């Protein structure tokens, strides 16, 4: 720790949910809803997809995004819905998720440091030092530090050291690198690192076929064609229609890999090649945008058209 004044850290945005079996769970940003054993909000029903939906904090609201499953509200299918008290979300016929309470603080806790852009904490987070310092959700056996919320305070453990409270302004020294705990106003969340300034490169028409993606730039006779993992990465993000945690995206692309380090490396390499391909074709690099909290999103400008056939 250094000489920066410290104070109690802000808390997580939270939604209290009643499950179809009557049980009550609390979920925050980044929580995955589905039947998979690893889902944060697990619903043991064959009609629910393994990764059915996800909760995200967007500009001061908790929003539920449909992933690989159907989401219905008030009798109509939706791809996203803002969570409010008493909202009923139908995941499948007669499989209802009821929002009992939503808590939205003015600010949440984020970490930033050497080579790590500011990332909002969305629950239990591990800090890994290889191949470079980065954050992943959950507890990892190789973590240099683990940060989590007990519902009242933010807590941290460095290596095998004691558990203690993490405060805003505190600096964590890890393997010669530093991470700082900072406060992130909720109203700023969900805003891309690179905001749209113009429609440089013309409007886009996108046709996604999952294993291939065609990006037609206005006035160009031929499209920019994405194939293989670059196409799958783009198609997954487009189908979500909103931000997606990098770990969830990587595991959809490489389901056989369980170690976060090669997953992160593969995703970074594929994303870099994808953006190089876009720039070479005269398409804006921020079409695939990285958010400060570790989420990725396809960012469409006014006038862009996307046809998702995946």
- Compute the 3-state secondary structure of the chain and give helix, strand, coil in percent, each to the nearest 5: 15, 40, 45
State the pLDDT at residue 6: 64
Residue 171 has a pLDDT of 96
pTM: 0.58
The radius of gyration computed from the CA coordinates of the chain, to the nearest angstrom, equals 20
Q: Which ranges in the chain belong to alpha helices (H)?
A: 228-240, 246-253, 260-280
Going from the first residue of the chain to its last (310 residues), give the mean pLDDT of each consecutive group of 10, the final group possibly shorter. Answer: 55 88 88 84 91 80 82 90 96 95 86 84 82 80 88 87 93 94 76 41 82 88 92 90 84 83 87 87 85 79 82
What contacts 79, CB < 8 A, 6 or more positions away?
65, 66, 71, 241, 242
Give pLDDT, residue 257.
Answer: 76
Two tokens at 44? 């043991």
**152 Cβ contact partners less than 8 Å away, ≥ 6 residues apart:** 11
Tokens representing 269 are 């390499």
Q: What is the pLDDT of residue 44?
A: 93
- Please, what are the domains in the chain? 11-103 (2.60.200.20), 107-188 (2.60.200), 204-308 (1.10.10.10)
**CA gap 33, 177 in Å, rounded:** 35
pLDDT, residue 213, reads 94
């Amino acid at each position: 720790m250094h000489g920066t004044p410290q104070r109690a850290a802000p808390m997580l945005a939270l939604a209290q949910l009643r499950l179809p079996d009557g049980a009550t769970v609390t979920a925050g940003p980044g929580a995955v809803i589905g039947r998979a054993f690893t889902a944060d909000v697990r619903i043991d029903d064959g009609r629910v997809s393994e990764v059915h939906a996800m909760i995200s904090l967007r500009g001061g609201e908790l929003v539920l995004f449909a992933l690989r499953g159907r989401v219905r509200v008030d009798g109509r299918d939706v791809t996203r819905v803002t969570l409010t008290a008493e909202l009923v979300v139908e995941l499948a016929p007669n499989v209802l998720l009821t929002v009992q309470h939503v808590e939205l603080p003015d600010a949440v806790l984020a970490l930033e440091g050497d080579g790590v852009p500011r990332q909002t904490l969305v629950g239990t987070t591990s800090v890994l030092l290889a191949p470079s310092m980065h954050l992943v959700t959950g507890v990892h056996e190789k973590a240099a530090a683990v940060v989590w919320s007990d519902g009242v305070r933010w807590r941290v453990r460095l290596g095998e050291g004691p558990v203690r409270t993490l405060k805003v302004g505190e600096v964590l020294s890890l393997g010669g690198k530093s991470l700082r705990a900072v406060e992130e106003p909720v109203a700023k969340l969900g805003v891309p690192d690179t905001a749209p300034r113009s429609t440089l490169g013309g409007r886009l028409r996108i046709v996604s076929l999952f294993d291939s993606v065609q990006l037609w730039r206005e006035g160009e006779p031929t499209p920019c064609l994405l194939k293989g993992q670059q196409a799958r990465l783009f198609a997954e993000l487009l189908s979500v229609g909103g931000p997606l945690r990098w770990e969830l995206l990587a595991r959809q692309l490489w389901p056989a890999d369980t170690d976060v380090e090669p997953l992160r490396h593969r995703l970074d390499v594929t994303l870099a090649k994808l953006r190089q391909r876009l720039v070479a074709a005269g398409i804006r690099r921020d079409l695939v945008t990285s958010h400060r909290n570790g989420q990725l999103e396809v960012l469409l400008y006014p006038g862009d058209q996307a046809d998702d056939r995946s």
